[in-house]
Each structure stands twice: as C-alpha cells, then as structure tokens.
Amino acid sequence: MRLKDKVSLITGGAAGIGRTTAERFAEEGARVVICDVDQNTGESVAKDIGHDAQFYRVDVADQASVVEWIKNVTAHSGRIDVLVNNAGIVRDGLLVKMKAGELVKQMSEDEFDLVVAVNLKGVFNCTQAVAPIMIRQGGGVILNATSIVGIDGNLGQTNYVATKAGVIGMTKVWARELGRYNIRVNAVAPGFTATEILTSMPDNVLAGMKARTPLGRLGQPRDIANAYLFLASEEASFITGAVLRVDGGIVVGT
C-alpha cells in the first residue's frame, strides 16, 4: 500500500494510460480523483475503481475550469498529495507537404494550437493550481507525461513533439523552483504503448513498432502506470527533475 490514503489526481483518467494509472494507484491505497472531458466514461471508470474514487469533468486547457476543479477537490479531500498530468491529444500532420514544387498540404494553425493548449498549457494550468496547496501542506509529488518523441523527435508530429519537449523543460524548472517546499517533480516518457488508439492501427504498423523495439513488444499501460507509482511513492524520495523513459529501449527514427 505504497500510496495509502494519498489524494492522487490524474488528468485524462477516463481511458488508456490515465485509467490504468488510476486503477494502479487505487490498488496501492490511493484516494483517486480523475478528470477528463469524457463525462460518461469518466463516471463509469470512477465507479469501477471504487474506493471512493471521484470523477470531475474538466478541460485542462481551460484555466478557470482547472482552478474550480482543484478548489472542489481540496474542499472535499482537504489536501492533494499527487498530481499526474496525463491528459494529452494528437493531431498529426507534416509541417509542409509538397508535390511537383507546389504546396499541397500543411499542418494547420488550429491543429498546432489545440495540441499546445491541451498538452502543454494543460500541464501548466494543473500544476500552477496545485502547487500552492502542496506548498501549504508541506510537500507533494507532480508527475508529467512526456514522450520519447519529445526527446528524439518524430516525423509528422511538430505540434506533439513541441509540447512533449516543453513538458520536459517545465519539469526541470519546477523541480528547481518547488524542491525547497518538499515537492518532487518528474516526467515519464512512454514509448509505443498498447492504448486504444495505438492498437487500432494496422497489424503491419504494429509489427514494425515491435520490430524496432529492442524488447520486442509494445509497452502495456500498466508498464507506464508502474513507473508513475514508483515515482509517486517514497521509494523515489530523492528523485526530482528526472525524465524516466519507459520504452523497451527504442530510439525513435532508427
């Protein structure tokens, strides 16, 4: 019970890695609070988790929505021990696509702005809202979802890579700023992970991902959840400002 009675917030907790992390934390005794924009699924997940798990509908890109969420959680639970900034989206596309010297397609401004709003600003919004509470209570843990592509880059993901690289930078800044208050800030960088989105891809694409991964398989959401669990626990009490790759040894682009 490594997180016994720890109030643990997980954004994007209705599916994928977020849901599995919420379930894993509950197994270890945490008082889980998830948020997502998918209300029906989120409510169902909280019910399935049990253990007094709570769900709130929150758009992490909307600062007012986040502030209201944190206010309500604090009023109900009295404290916040762990924040997992897991919520994220993709809107892939090439920077520019040329044919016969003519521009035929490019990543739109809306696609760029939306991914930045959720994946980067959302992490900022949630962390900024939670930090004063953790400071007043004498400590806490903040965990941010980055990605191996935020380290290595990836074709067709200018917007996504920019956000995930930005999350790494913010993690290192906050580790320095908040360490004096006994708040640890770390990031987890998953590799190819068998979430609902990934497993819907064609079999030949999945086979290629496995072949490029030295361990020869896709990651499972529980692999990532276990990394979050370790970093949230006292076993990682002297780890801050770190980026933990959970990727089966892959280097993107090789």
Interval 114-131: pLDDT, tens: 999 999 999 999 999 999
Domain assignment present for 253: no
Model confidence band, residue 203 (pLDDT cutoffs 50, 70, 90): confident
Domain with residue 208: its CATH number is 3.40.50.720
Domain assignment present for 240: yes
Contacts of 7 (CB under 8 A, 6+ apart): 30, 31, 33, 73, 77, 78, 79, 80, 81, 82
Give pLDDT, residue 198.
76
197 or 206: which carries more pLDDT confidence?
206
Domain assignment present for 77: yes
Distance CA 186, CA 172 (A): 8
Model confidence band, residue 171 (pLDDT cutoffs 50, 70, 90): very high
95 or 204: which carries more pLDDT confidence?
95
Q: What percent of the chain has pLDDT over 70?
A: 99
Domain assignment present for 252: no
Half-sphere exposure of 71 (CA within 13 A, CB side): 6
Domain assignment present for 30: yes
Domain assignment present for 193: yes
Give pLDDT, residue 209.
84
The residue ranges of DSSP E strands in the chain, in sequence order, are: 7-11, 31-36, 54-57, 82-85, 96-99, 102-106, 140-145, 183-190, 243-246
For 162-166, which contacts have Cβ atoms below 8 Å and span 24 or more sequence positions?
162/116, 162/120, 163/88, 163/115, 163/116, 163/119, 163/120, 164/119, 164/189, 166/120
User: Over 122-173, what HEC string results?
Assistant: HHHHHHHHHHHHHHHHCCEEEEEECCCHHHHCCCCEHHHHHHHHHHHHHHHH
Q: Which domain holds residue 81?
A: 7-245
In this model, does residue 254 exceed pLDDT 60?
no
Q: Which of 32-36, 57-61, 209-213, 246-250 shows the lowest mean pLDDT across its residues?
A: 209-213
Give pLDDT, residue 6.
98
254 or 129: which carries more pLDDT confidence?
129
Distance CA 176, CA 185 (A): 9
Interval 133-156: pLDDT, tens: 999 999 999 999 999 999 999 999
Domain assignment present for 137: yes
What's the total number of domains in the chain? 1
Distance CA 134, CA 113 (A): 30
Model confidence band, residue 211 (pLDDT cutoffs 50, 70, 90): confident
Domain assignment present for 250: no
Catalytic hit among 56, 160, 181, 228: 160
Q: Is 181 a catalytic residue?
A: no
73's enclosing H/E stretch is: helix 63-77
The chain-wide mean pLDDT, for the chain, equals 95
pTM over 0.75: yes
Model confidence band, residue 24 (pLDDT cutoffs 50, 70, 90): very high
